[in-house]
Amino acid sequence: MKRTTDRNIRSRSLSRADVAFDKAAKEVKNLKVKPTDTEMLEIYCLFKQATVGDVNTERPGMLDFKGKAKWDSWEAKKGMSKEDAMKAYITKVEELKAKYEMTVVD
């Protein structure tokens, strides 16, 4: 009989979180209406924090307004754990689906 350890439980729950995260990432790409720029920035920074971790690039140059906005939003999540970023991302996608009262397009 296999003994269940904290490590096994964490591993299983992490893979469930990974599945939910991947599902949310697919769903947000298939919304019928594009979220606002502010909502897109929040989705972007949470996705980057969950998949890469803390920002690991230099801040874009002075004239790259879009790049700077994305970098700044990601930098604001510095220190957030992968798991917390994944949960926040999933929650945000669910909020967007509810806000726009729509189902995703397959």
Q: Give CA–CA dist 27/35, Å, rounded.
A: 12
All domains in the chain, ordered by first residue: 6-99 (1.20.80.10)
Instruction: Please tell me the predicted confidence (pLDDT) of residue 5.
Output: 52
Instruction: Please tell me the predicted confidence (pLDDT) of residue 13.
Output: 55
Instruction: Please tell me the predicted confidence (pLDDT) of residue 104.
Output: 54
Contact 36, 104 (CB under 8 A): no
Tell me the chain's radius of gyration from C-alpha atoms: 16
Q: What is the pLDDT of residues 27-83, one digit of tens each?
A: 999 888 999 999 999 999 999 999 999 999 999 999 999 999 999 999 999 999 999
Picking from 106, 40, 53, 58, the residue whose alpha carbon sits closest to that of residue 82 is 53
